[in-house]
Amino acid sequence: MRPADSCASDSPPPRRLLARLLFILFFSVSLAGCGAMSVPQATPMMTVTLPAQPSATATPFAPQETIEATPALPPWQTAPTLQATPAATGVPAPAAPIPQPAGQVSILLLGSDQRPEGGSFRTDTIVLLTLRRGSLTLVGFPRDLYVYIPGWQMQRINTAYPHGGFELLADTLAYNFGVRPQYFVLTHLSGFKDIVDRLGGIEVETARALTDQRDGYPRPYTVGPGTVHMDGETALWYVRARYSTSDYDRLRRAQEVLIAIGRKLLSLDGLSRVPELYSLYRNSVETNLDLETALQLLPLLQSIDPQTIERYEIGADQVIPWLEPESGAYYLLPKPEAIQAVLQQAIGLP
């Protein structure tokens, strides 16, 4: 019996079922997080001035084979003047656009720390997913990356979406790093926990032990190393734990949880729950990726070997830790050329 046959008789056709599974897989990548980042002690803090880059005129993206191309951003001729900027930094010139190969789709996966009761929030998980025939890559951006947010100010990248939505965050990535995603999926804390619990928990292969504070436990909580069964609450704690590790380690743990969710979703038991999970998903996310577009992406998705998915991150080699002198606020100053090199590799350019 095929996995899809385990669904109820009134389940959607296989292609539509796969599209719903695609939605949930995108959802599971967007692991939400929040809280102050633990600064890696091994890396010395520096006060630097961002070097100016030559201005560049934007070029249009290559047309998509099955998805309508996203219009290119208007060219920025000069860097805007900013009044309230830390003295040690300046607004950089716009980055040269990175060409987008034909037939490629880019989706920004965002995790929000917004609570069910609402209020202010930030997108503490930012992952750029690039999908083309036979290839899927993920690039994680640290939340403390200090960038120019067009029309606003120099600020952490995780404040762009709350300030101006997906369009402003897409503009921010285009201005600073030369890439502009076409679609986005934003998830919230409660939705992530519900997905894991509806799956009956997940088996996470933890590379190393984690000991950290956890709400409701009088002493630090420890898991791993090895295979650990996690419910939604435990999986969320594992991804977001921040007191004993850095954001770079959190990216590794997020990948471990993502793999565990993917395995469970693709199991016989997981596939039988896709209609139920899709309904939950629709109430737990914000997205401009509709079901019909997801159906168009299926041929690309079906061409991917899960063992060949490539994961990248903007890490210690692409940033400079910096403490703002007056406030003591912690930022990561980007090395634009180093970041563009990572993005070019992920996009598949020579």
Q: What are the tens digits of pLDDT across the range 118-139?
A: 556 788 788 899 998 888 898 9
β pairing state of 153-156 and 210-212: unpaired
pLDDT digits (tens, 9 = 90+) for 304-334: 776 788 888 898 999 999 988 888 888 999 9
Q: What is the DSSP string of 144-200?
A: TBEEEETTTEEEEGGGHHHHHHHHHHHHHHHHHHS---SEEEEE-HHHHHHHHHHTT
Residue 218 burial (C-beta neighbours within 10 Å; 0-12, 13-18, 19+): exposed
CA distances from 109 to 157, 218, 226 (A): 14, 34, 28
Kindly tell me if the per-residue pLDDT of 61 is higher than 50.
Answer: no
Q: What is the pLDDT of residues 195-231, one digit of tens each?
A: 889 889 999 999 999 999 999 999 999 999 999 999 9
Phi, psi for 273 (deg, rounded to 5): -105, 5
**pLDDT: which is higher, 295 or 18:** 295
Percent with pLDDT over 90 in the chain? 33
Give me Rg for the CA atoms of the chain.
20
- Do the beta carbons of residue 275 and residue 17 sit within 8 Å? yes
Which domains are present in the chain? 12-36+84-347 (3.40.630.190)
**Banded pLDDT at 260 (limits 50, 70, 90):** confident
